[in-house]
Amino acid sequence: MKNKRYIVVDLETTGNQANKADKIIQFSACIVEKGEIIDQFSTFLNPEKRIPPFIKELTGISDKDVKDAPLFEDVSSIIHALIDGGIFVAHNVSFDWTFLQKEMREAGEAPLKMKLLDTVELARIMYPTVDSFKLQDLADEFGFSHDAPHRADSDARVTAELLLLFLEKLETLPLATIRKLTTLSQHLTGYLAELLFEIEMRKERELAALDAKWTEYRGIVIRQKSIQEAQYSRADNMYYPKSEEEKIALFQAVNETLTPRAGQFLMMDTIMASWRNEANVLIEAGTGIGKTLGYSLPAIYFAKEHQIPIVISTYTNLLQSQIFHKDIPLLTALTHFDVKAVVLKGRDHYINLFKFEQLLSEVDKTYDVVLTKMQLLVWLTETTTGDIGEVNLSSGGQLFWNRMKHTGWFLSPQKDPWLPYDFYLFNQKQAKAADLIIVNHALLLQDHFGGGKWLPDYEYAIIDEAHHFTDAARAQQSFVFSYRRMKFFMNRLGTLGKEAILKRLEMMFPEKHQLFDIEIAVLKLEEALEELFLLLAQKLLKANKNTTELLLVENVIDEKLDTALFFAGEKVLLLMKEVSSTLDDVLAYGKREADKFSEGESVFLEEVYSFVLDWKRAENQLSRMLYEKEEAMMLYIESDRNKALGSVRLRANIVQVNHTLQKDFFDAKKSVVLTSATLTVDDSFAYIRKELGLDEGIATEQIKSPFCYKENARILIPSDMLPVKGTPVEEYTSRLALYLSAIARETSGRMLVLFTAHEMLQKTYRKMSQDASIAEYRILAQGVSSGSPARLTKQFLAFDKAILLGTMSFWEGVDIPGDDLSCLVIVRLPFAPLEDSYTKAQIALRKKMGLNAFQTYSLPEAVLRFKQGFGRLIRRETDRGIVFVFDNRVDTTAFGKTFLHSIPEVPIIKGRELELLEEVKKFFE
């Protein structure tokens, strides 16, 4: 294989359509032989047409660069001779191959005879857990230098380096995995099948012993894993360090650079006291306290001392991972304990190996299915958790996942030959043996409200990012009934004449005549669904042709769906119940006959059981939408912009969860610690306490940030800026763009600008992009520049002079420490838009209760978001920076003062543009 000749190609073009008039403007090819890059050929090409502006912006290639370059026909014979006969490799190979073929034909060259290999496909298979398969993201992931993204010479070089990495990893995979990959690759186009077959044949001849890190069972290789019991010794160091001196000694014995912090010690003592007193506590821990260590250190001492597990819950999977991989090792180093920690997810996050094994032998040539099977085979050689959240699946792969996710056992678990290797059971056993169980809010709440029992018994919990706990509780009890999901269900169920669940059930149980009843019900259900969703789509169209959201019912306690919608929904519900009821009968019959089934038939019944669970969940949700009278729940219609029927959804949002949380969660535990950097409004815990349903007498502790904001930060409020309210958006953004450009010149960029509306962000971005005075600055904008918030943040850090414009997802969770961020701009106070359906329902509910909706909801929510935004600036003790607040209501209104009183004490300077720019200059000097 290493003697083969790979031609790794990248092209830049005037557009994306080879079959139209688009032309190549840059060609580059790296020659790879014997495991290394031996040569590279690159050239600009004159397309004999102007390069479109968006291509110029993307590639940095101008008309001047290609003006004196050769035409493609001038170099076509050179390119043909260079690449013909090799293996043609590219990142998204069909794009480059199609363009090159077209240009070759037009130049009169003989057709190229080449096998194709796609590095996007290889990346997906060989590194299934990578967050993104874009070329730039892969270069970042593996540390390859990529100086000029979207330039053919740089892109081709990085693609060649990636190819070598992928080929090297292929060689390390065990023979059994390669065998299965080879079989599956027969359904793919291109050279990959031949490549895998050659590797398989060579490994067959070598017959190397399986590495000890793996085990092979029934032809599938998985990673070895073992349960380690928690150790509870009674050594002297098992006891919590009470005095400040003991705590300092603990920290300094491990790492002299680990700074002891009085606030962190106070947090530790507060938590330990609350657990010993079996009381709940709210702790606001300002930025720089060292919050995670502040709660995890007392947690491990309490867990070891009492030989019990403590649950740590945070908002996102990413934060779960950070705690496990970053903070748990630090905890082990500090205490010298054998810290047993486990990250736990809901059951359907884990793969069912029995189902997966049977699906592997099922012939399905669908590209996403084949690719997903190949990804999972490689992943199983690496994962010790079996958590599908580790894998970057395509949308088709996510649908396919429904067929192999874990839903427990319908038949006896003993019929599952993979039981000793089951990931869900392994993680459950890990949790039972753990000191610390790390979960996210969704699972924690699902454990209480969802009816499932995911977590081992526990009585002590820490809720990190507690300002999101009510949002998570509302989300847990909110749901969507969508046309697309129901059509997916119907396709999986099929009919007696279509290869799907019903037909396979008929083959297994020809005597079960009820299956004909299901088929009739399914056909009627298809009509009923069309009727219901057409009614919903028509309502949305009548409301406003531009709207993608329409509130139907503000609160189901007082009102319900109109008669036509109600009866259309009820018709769907009755037919769904008819289907599930009959499937229950068939499954019950199957359970009685279980001993007669082959392994494939047993797995199929498990799959049907899983399907029925999902079907009944949708059935129950529709039932609640039609008949619910207890919850504070709102109903509304959603769709995409073109109102396509497939995009229409009926959404139910729970508006209030405080009573449920108090009764079902807080009262059921001995002690719950709730912590976050943003829990108070104007130094009061009243709002968050009421939202969570906590008693007035709950203990609270507000621990201020140790950072010296008076020295290291300034808040600047322009007095000559146009008011946001009442100023046309075009006029406002024109003035804002000029002002931001002036600030950027004084701060050398390093600026994060926070918006509350995407329209305003886009208009500001366009105007700043046209400003010649900041032409050297890289301007990145959420929703305009490609990439996720994390990706945009990475790009922002990569440039010396950069400006990042973001909306709501940038107000928290973004960590840009040090000199990389020196200026934060808050364009508008972050009040939720009044036209938002959810905000409307919250306001209506409070008015109904006789409360001032602005004071009890809109203002505190905005203040907490403002605090999160402000917290982006100073992330470390040595950080310095300025905050511009362009919304003058922060200074001119009584409620505006609440925002300023809720953040650390910072010098506030008001003035005209020139005065404030002078302040900026002085501050940074």
Cβ-based neighbours of 347, under 8 Å, separated by 6 or more: 406, 407, 408, 424, 452, 454
Q: Which helix (H) or strand (E) holds 479?
A: strand 479-482
Does 287 show up as a binding residue in the annotation?
A: yes
Estimate the crossing angle of helix 599-627 against helix 501-508, to 10 degrees: 130
Does 60 show up as a binding residue in the annotation?
A: no
Nearest C-alpha neighbor of 639 from the set 546, 745, 508, 739: 546
Cα-Cα-Cα-Cα torsion 285, 288, 292, 293, nearest 10 degrees, comes to -110
Does 497 show up as a binding residue in the annotation?
A: no
Does 159 show up as a binding residue in the annotation?
A: no
- Pairs from 41-47 (Cβ < 8 Å, separation ≥ 24): 41/78, 41/79, 41/82, 42/152, 42/153, 42/156, 43/69, 43/70, 43/75, 44/69, 45/69, 45/70, 45/71, 45/72, 45/75, 46/70, 46/71, 47/14, 47/23
Q: How far is CA 442 from the centre of its chain?
A: 14
Nearest C-alpha neighbor of 102 from the set 127, 136, 72: 72
DSSP code per residue over 151-168: -HHHHHHHHHHHHHHHHH
Q: How far is CA 800 from the centre of its chain?
A: 28
DSSP code per residue over 236-287: GGGS---SHHHHHHHHHHH-TTS---HHHHHHHHHHHHHHHTT--EEEEE-T
443: tokens are: 């699972």
Cα-Cα-Cα-Cα torsion 289, 290, 296, 299, nearest 10 degrees, comes to -20
d(CA 49, CA 525): 55
Does 292 show up as a binding residue in the annotation?
A: yes
569: tokens are: 């929904």
Q: Is 451 helix (H, G, I), strand (E, B) or coil?
A: coil
DSSP code per residue over 528-545: HHHHHHHHHHHHHHHH-T
Sign of CA dihedral 183, 189, 192, 194: positive
d(CA 177, CA 125): 12
Residues facing 691 on adjacent strands: none
Cα-Cα-Cα-Cα torsion 188, 192, 197, 202, nearest 10 degrees, comes to -160
Q: Is 863 exposed, middle or buried (0-12, 13-18, 19+ CB in 10 A)?
A: buried
Does 289 show up as a binding residue in the annotation?
A: yes
248: tokens are: 């300092």
d(CA 24, CA 99): 8
d(CA 651, CA 480): 4
Does 288 show up as a binding residue in the annotation?
A: yes
d(CA 676, CA 672): 13
Cβ-based neighbours of 528, under 8 Å, separated by 6 or more: 568, 571, 572, 575
Q: Which stretches within 24-62 are classed as H helix?
A: 53-59
d(CA 24, CA 79): 13
Q: Which helix (H) or strand (E) holds 482?
A: strand 479-482
Q: 857 phi and psi, to 5 degrees?
A: -135, -65
d(CA 185, CA 45): 36
Say if residues 83 and 7 touch (Cβ distance below 8 Å).
yes
d(CA 180, CA 200): 10
Q: Which helix (H) or strand (E) holds 589?
A: helix 563-592
Does 115 show up as a binding residue in the annotation?
A: no
Q: Is 802 exposed, middle or buried (0-12, 13-18, 19+ CB in 10 A)?
A: buried
Binding site residue list: 285-292
Binding site residue list for ATP: 285-292
